[in-house]
A and B are shown apart, each in its own frame.
Chain A
Amino acid sequence: MDHSWLSHPILARLNSGVIVIDDEYRIVFLNHFIERHASMALAEVAQQSLFEVFPDLPEAWLKRKLMSVLDLQSPAFSSWEQRQYIFKLPHLRPITSSSQYMAQNCTMLPLLDESTQQNFICILVEDATDAFVYQQHLSKTLIELEKANRQDGLTKVLNRRYWEEQLKQEIHRAQRYQHPLSLILFDLDKFKDLNDKYGHLGGDFVLIELSSLIGSLLRDSDLLGRYGGEEFGIVLPDTNGQGAMDVAERIRKAIADHPMLFNQQTIRVTLSIGVAELDPHHHLLHDDLIREADMALYNAKRNGRNRVCQFETKAVSRKLAQS
């Protein structure tokens, strides 16, 4: 049976683009897919240069590719993953896709007309917009997932697990490069009274508000995390004890001076803050540093709240060693 009649209807109905050019890049054939997507008729563009008919083509790059097909008589490929499209064509999912143009997988195949021995190139254009859109959704979801995995759901600062991991890494780095590092732990004063008076929504509101206010006072490299309940921690890389005391005092004052408006009521809150500096020569575990900052925080509470205290024994022992 002769099958040659098949090629015409198949080419016409194929849901992929077929473009044939000669060895001087002149258009010999376009199928319906290309005619319709590019709004052009074969009769109008036949014998014209591919690069004039599609002026947006990456000419130098594509010529090099097409040349390889002719010279080596082997196929060349282009994937949407590296180059979203070669031919700037609209796609059929304008609503569901964020991209304006059809993502494409293209294959360039050598063709030989046996009767004339003339070389041609067949360019197959496959619509890969679906894959492109799925990939975009996937990347976005992965980024969100990763963020959710390190964030505290309520306050959007780092969660305890991730914050402690970062603290360990920063301590390791500080020890290796002999850089200073300090830790701040702070606690919202009388949080229980606040919850009793304004309800848990009021308490949550205060935690969110103070997290965002404190976040705005820190450098990008500082790490603010929720340690538990109303207790938070800040890792300050490249910061000595005095520098950390300054930061802590700035935070204390900013919160004390910042009335928060919740349900038409003004809430005023204060913080008690403990500061500890890493001594890189004593290979402190991160637990030790947290314990020292926690002791300083306890002193701040005991001395009347709304104040900053620094963990002191190291300073004392250093003074003793000097005398």
Chain B
Amino acid sequence: MTNLGFTVEQKDCLQEIINVAMGLASDKLARFLNTFVHLQVPSIALVGANHIPAEFSGRYADTEAALVSQGFFGDEGVRGEAIVLYKMDNAHRIAELLGYEPGDSSEIEMLTDISSVLTTTFLNGLAQQIENSLSYSAPRILSSRHGNLSDVLQSTSFHWEHALKVDISYQLVDHSFNCDMILLIPDVAVSRIKVILDRILEEF
């Protein structure tokens, strides 16, 4: 695993920014979902995007998995693709979580809805701290019950150079809910983030 040229200080700073973004997201989510949301401090890792399929195919090998992708783009070359991975045994909890009535909506629609909420609240928090603002493409489900997750990840991550892995574990009072989030980002965005991190470190 490579640190892609991040210094120790830069990496600590990024971790801190992500912690704060996660805190903002959990606060918003708690209010939205009307339940206490406990978010563990996410562990992050920067890896080459080509490592992603191997890392995740193991974890989701013996279960049905779903993968939802959503593009994001902001100013000054900050852009990428956010991927949220779920184990499908989680899926039936999502309706409860979102407060949907049975029959309101299909399983796929619920997955794209919850993914969009998780991705945009988290990334909005992140953007706010690096003084950027983001637009989003509509979430798309890339794989659900059928098909090999690692193949899908392969074809998705192929277009990107780097991946920021963020392990997110949401614990809600009445539900526990786990998923993985991966941010796939190109070289230019990584350089941009480094510049921003250095600026924050200087100000600090």
Q: Give how many A-B residue pairs fall within 8 Å (CB-CB).
A: 55
- How many residues of A sit at the interface, in one of the four size bands? 20 to 34
Is B32's CB under 8 angstroms from A77's CB? Answer: no
Which stretch from A63-71, A210-218, A271-279 is at the chain B interface? A63-71
Contact with B along A64-82 (1 / 0, CB 8 A): 1101100111111111001
Within 8 A of B (CB), among A73-119: 73-79, 82-83, 105, 107
Residue total for B at the interface (Cβ-Cβ under 8 A): 24
Chain B residues with Cβ below 8 Å from A67 are 32
Chain A nearest CB: distance from B197 CB in Å? 24
Is B138's CB under 8 angstroms from A79's CB? Answer: yes
Chain A residues with Cβ below 8 Å from B138 are 77, 79, 105, 107
Which of B100, B113, B140 has the largest count of A CB atoms less than 10 A from its CB?
B113
Within 8 A of B (CB), among A29-71: 58, 60-61, 64-65, 67-68, 71
B124 within 8 A of A: yes
A73 CA to B116 CA in the complex, in Å?
12
Of B28, B106, B117, B136, the contact of A82 (CB 8 Å cutoff) = B106
Chain A residues with Cβ below 8 Å from B19 are none
Of B106, B109, B124, B140, the contact of A74 (CB 8 Å cutoff) = B124
Identity of the chain A residue whose Cβ is nearest the Cβ of B29 in the assembled complex: A72
Chain B residues with Cβ below 8 Å from A58 are 104
Is B99's CB under 8 angstroms from A74's CB? Answer: no
Is A76's CB under 8 angstroms from B116's CB? Answer: yes
Identity of the chain B residue whose Cβ is nearest the Cβ of A109 in the assembled complex: B135
A68 CA to B136 CA in the complex, in Å?
15
A83 CA to B138 CA in the complex, in Å?
13
Grouping DSSP codes into helix (H, G, I), strand (E, B) and loop, the A interface class, with mixed when no group exceeds half, is mixed
Of A64, A71, A75, the contact of B98 (CB 8 Å cutoff) = A64
Of B105, B106, B108, B139, the contact of A77 (CB 8 Å cutoff) = B139
Chain B residues with Cβ below 8 Å from A78 are 109
Of A61, A72, A73, A77, the contact of B104 (CB 8 Å cutoff) = A61
Is A68's CB under 8 angstroms from B32's CB? Answer: yes
Contact A83:B109 (CB < 8 A) given known A64-B100, A72-B28, A105-B138: yes
Chain A residues with Cβ below 8 Å from B121 are 72, 74
A90 CA to B106 CA in the complex, in Å?
24
Is A68's CB under 8 angstroms from B109's CB? Answer: no
Is A75's CB under 8 angstroms from B113's CB? Answer: no
Contact with A along B57-71 (1 / 0, CB 8 A): 000000000000000
Chain A residues with Cβ below 8 Å from B28 are 71-72
Chain A residues with Cβ below 8 Å from B32 are 67-68, 71-72
B112 within 8 A of A: yes
Contact with A along B70-106 (1 / 0, CB 8 A): 0000000000000000000000000000111100111
Identity of the chain A residue whose Cβ is nearest the Cβ of B139 in the assembled complex: A77
Is B108's CB under 8 angstroms from A61's CB? Answer: no
B129 within 8 A of A: no
Chain B residues with Cβ below 8 Å from A107 are 138
Chain B nearest CB: distance from A316 CB in Å? 48
Contact with B along A259-297 (1 / 0, CB 8 A): 000000000000000000000000000000000000000
B146 within 8 A of A: no
Which of A75, A77, A105, A107 has the largest count of B CB atoms less than 10 A from its CB?
A77
Identity of the chain B residue whose Cβ is nearest the Cβ of A106 in the assembled complex: B138
Identity of the chain A residue whose Cβ is nearest the Cβ of B117 in the assembled complex: A68
A-B contact pairs, 8 of them (CB 8 A): A60-B101, A72-B121, A74-B117, A77-B138, A79-B138, A79-B140, A82-B105, A107-B138
List of 3 A-B pairs having minimum Cβ-Cβ separation, nearest first: A74-B120, A82-B109, A77-B138
Add 7 more A-B contacts to A72-B28, A72-B121, A74-B121 (CB < 8 A).
Answer: A60-B100, A72-B120, A74-B116, A74-B136, A82-B108, A82-B109, A83-B105
- A residues within 8 Å of B by Cβ? 58, 60-61, 64-65, 67-68, 71-79, 82-83, 105, 107
